[in-house]
Structure 1
Amino acid sequence: MKIVISNTSGEPIYEQIKRQLKESILKGELKEGELLPSIRQLAKDLHISVITTKRAYDDLEREGYITSVVGKGSFVAKQSKESLREIRLKWIEEKMAEIVSESKSLNITLEELQEMLRILYEEDT
C-alpha cells in the first residue's frame, strides 16, 4: 500500500490519507479483512503526526470502510455487494462531477464531453 502526501496541496493531510485509502478499497487494491498499517507505523512512514493518521482512520471507520479491533489493528471492513456497488457509484459520480465542473470552466460542450467518454469507454473493449 502506497500513500503519497503532498505538502503543497490545499487538501489537509488526513483527508489525503483518507481519500487514498478509500480509493484503494473501492478499486479492490485493499481487500476485505486486509490488515492496514498501524496508526503509529503509518505516521512514522509518512513522517507525520499520529493524531493526523488517527483522524483519517477514525473517519474511515465512521464511514464504514475499515474496522478496528483493540490490540489487533485496523482492517478493511466487509461490504455487501450492494453496498459496495453503491459506494463505488457514488465515488464515480463525485469524479464525474469534478470532470463536468472542469469541462464547463474550459467551455467544453456536453457533446464533446460525451464523445471523450465514449472513446475512453470503448478503448478497453
Structure 2
Amino acid sequence: MDIIISNSVKDPIYQQIIKQIKNHVLTGELSEGDSLPSIRQLAKDLQVSVITTKRAYEELESDGFIVSIVGKGSFIASQNQELLKERRLKIIEEKLIEIIEESKLVHLSKEELMEMILILYGDDLK
C-alpha cells in the first residue's frame, strides 16, 4: 500500500492519508482483514507526526473502514458492497460536477461533452 503525501495539496496530511486508504479499499487494493502499518510505523514511513497518523486511523475507524485491535494492530473492516458502490457513485458524481463546471468555462456544449465521454468510454457514437 502506497501513500503519498503532497505539500502542494490543500488537504491536511491526515485527510490525505484517509482519502488514500479509502481509495485503496474502494478499488479493491485493500480488502477485509488486510493489516495496516502500525500508527508509529506509518508516521515513520511518511515522516509525519504520530498524532497525524493516529487521527487518520481514528477517523477511518469511526467511518467503518478499519478496525483496531489492541496489541494486534489495525485491519481493513468488512465492507457492505452496496455501501461501497454508493460511495463510488458519489465520487463519480463529484468528478462529473467538476468536469461539467470546467466544460462550461470553455463553452463546451452538452453534445460535445457527451461525444467526448463516448469516445473516451470506447463506445461508438451511434
Smaller-chain TM-score range?
A: 0.7 to 0.9
Q: How does 1:77-88 map to 2 (within 5 A)?
A: 77-88=77-88
Query: Structure 2: 5+ residue runs without aligned partners?
Result: none
Structure 1 stretch displaced more, 9-18 or 107-116: 107-116
Q: Show the counterpart of 2:116.
A: 116
Structure 1, residues 71-96: CA drift from partner, whole Å, max 9, x if none?
11111111122222222212222222
Distance in 2, Cα, partners of 1:49 & 1:38 = 13
Instruction: Give the Cα separation in 1 of the matches to 2:72 and 2:103.
Output: 46
Q: What CA distance in whole angstroms lies between the structure 2 residues aligned with 1:18 and 1:39? A: 13
- Count matched residues: 123
- Give the match for residue 65 of structure 1: 65
SS of 2:41's equivalent in the other structure is helix
Structure 1 stretch 7-16 or stretch 42-51: which is displaced more? Answer: 7-16
Alpha-carbon distance change, 107 to 83 in structure 1, aligned in 2, over 3 angstroms: same
RMSD between aligned residues:
1.6
Which has the larger Rg? Answer: 2
Equivalence for 1:95:
95
Consecutive unaligned residues in structure 1, runs of 5 or more: none
Q: What pairs with 1:1-125 in structure 2 (closer than 5 Å)?
A: 1-122=1-122
Identity rate, percent = 60
The change in CA–CA distance for 1:105 and 1:12 in structure 2 (over 3 A counts) is farther
